[in-house]
Amino acid sequence: MAKELMKGNEALAEAAIRAGCRFYSGYPITPQTEILEYLSWRMDEVGGTFVQTESELAGVNMLLGAAAAGARALSSSAGPGFSLKQEGISYLVAADLPAVIIDVMRIGTGLGDIAQGQGDYWQLTRGGGHGDYHTIVIAPASVQENCDLMQTAFTLAEKYRHPVLVASDAAIGQMVEGVELPPMHEHDVDTYDWAVRGCAAGAEPRKVQNTYYTRPDYVEYLRDKYAQMEEQEQRWEAYRAEDADVVLVAYGISSRISKEAVDLARERGFRLGLIRPITLWPFPTKAFAACENAKAFLTVEINILGQMADDVRLAVQHRCPVDFYGVFFDLPEPEDIIAKAEALLGKEGK
């Protein structure tokens, strides 16, 4: 199939359509607004529904209604708007409903700014809303992956009857790359019997509510669900990591710059490698077993506090040092990454 040029955000939108998504509700906020703009006409073409809602709160709760009715449903936001989505994400989890929500990360707390950021890592991976939950979080690193992973997101959402979050960022959202689009899927809203539609004569009415009210095994059910996700859904890419002395850990746009740093360092005889988490939750702890030679790990992140470093510390069980290289309102620089990695290795006395 011929490749075509697409902007990251538009690729997410088109890939959702091709994954059978026929419902979108959301609110404009930079840097994800192209998703709305694209779907405002594209949903018409495929006979789907696009609603620009009065707020992210309305958007995510409309998404919940569409998901409960059996549609493959999508919403998207960024920054402060993504915070407003948390109410609905918690309710989607509580009611066992599949849906996909995209966070095109921008930088900073509060209003922050519209440049690329990776400061939502904790919010995405720790359960950003109230209560006791995780969500599967998928982090594409290219426009092509935007296309490929949207299908994965919907598949996993339905497999677990659970919301799935797609963590993109302003850089990948705005960049234009050649992509091969996936084939078109249609989704039948009657696929699952739990979807509300009206209660047939003599049937038990369907009730979409917190499963805690109805499941005697609620606690075990949730624990098992998350254990199964952790066991089965870890995804990552290892790049020249096996023999590396220092292994970088980076996702999204930071992982691309980290790859450059790995190649550059290797040309100079410094064995640098990279683990790129594709799922941020479940965190790909299994990836670290193969890094047999590693003496230190360095996360590369666009945030101030090195939000992912603790997950790496847990993954390597504190067997060797883990540090982070973080930039704010900027992109990581390969030379700076290498310098920090060398310093880390030096400190370990090789």
Partner 1 sequence: MKLKAPESVFSSASFCPGCGHGLAGRLIGEVAEELGIEHKLVTVVDVACCSFHIDYWKFDTIMAAHGRDIPTAVGVKHVRPDSAVMAYMGDGAAYAIGMAETIHAALRNDNICVFVINNSVFGMTGGQMAPTSLPGERTATSPKGKDPARYGTMSGLELVKQMDVAYVARGELIGSSGMVRAKTLIRKAFTHQLNGDGFSLVELLSPCPTNLNLPPVKAKAFVHDEMTKYFPLGEFVDKGGNV
Q: Which residues bind partner 1 (CB under 8 A)?
A: 22-23, 25, 49, 51, 53-55, 57-59, 61-71, 73, 87-88, 91, 95, 189, 196-201, 205-210
Tell me whether residue 70 or residue 79 sits nearer to partner 1 (CB atom): 70
Spatial contact of 298 and 248, defined as CB atoms under 8 Å apart: yes
Instruction: Collapse the DSSP code of 87 into the 3-class scheme (helix H, G, I; strand E, B; otherwise coil) and give the result.
Output: helix
Cis peptide before 80 (omega within 30 of 0): no
CB 35, min distance to partner 1, A: 18
CB 112, min distance to partner 1, A: 24
Secondary structure element (H or E) that encloses residue 101, with its range = strand 99-107
Pairwise CA distance, residues 22 & 43, whole Å:
7
Tell me whether residue 205 or residue 216 sits nearer to partner 1 (CB atom): 205
Phi and psi, residue 100, nearest 5°:
-120, 130
CB 45, min distance to partner 1, A: 16
CB 9, min distance to partner 1, A: 23
Tell me whether residue 49 or residue 234 sits nearer to partner 1 (CB atom): 49
Please, how many CA atoms are within 13 Å of residue 284, restricted to the half-sphere of its CB? 23
Instruction: Give which of 172, 41, 25 is closest to 100, Cα–Cα.
Output: 25
Tell me whether residue 187 or residue 225 sits nearer to partner 1 (CB atom): 187
CB 225, min distance to partner 1, A: 21
CB 120, min distance to partner 1, A: 22
Tell me whether residue 204 or residue 267 sits nearer to partner 1 (CB atom): 204
Structure tokens at 228: 């199964």
Tell me whether residue 61 or residue 125 sits nearer to partner 1 (CB atom): 61
Instruction: Collapse the DSSP code of 136 into the 3-class scheme (helix H, G, I; strand E, B; otherwise coil) and give the result.
Output: strand
Tell me whether residue 198 or residue 349 sits nearer to partner 1 (CB atom): 198
CB 276, min distance to partner 1, A: 35
Spatial contact of 78 and 9, defined as CB atoms under 8 Å apart: no
Phi and psi, residue 68, nearest 5°:
-65, -25
CB 140, min distance to partner 1, A: 26
Instruction: Give which of 125, 169, 175, 144 is closest to 279, Cα–Cα.
Output: 125
Pairwise CA distance, residues 190 & 244, whole Å:
50
Separation of CA 131 from chain center: 20
Tell me whether residue 80 or residue 321 sits nearer to partner 1 (CB atom): 80
Pairwise CA distance, residues 2 & 76, whole Å:
28
Beta-bridge partners for 88: none
CA dihedral 98, 278, 106, 175 (to 10 degrees): -110
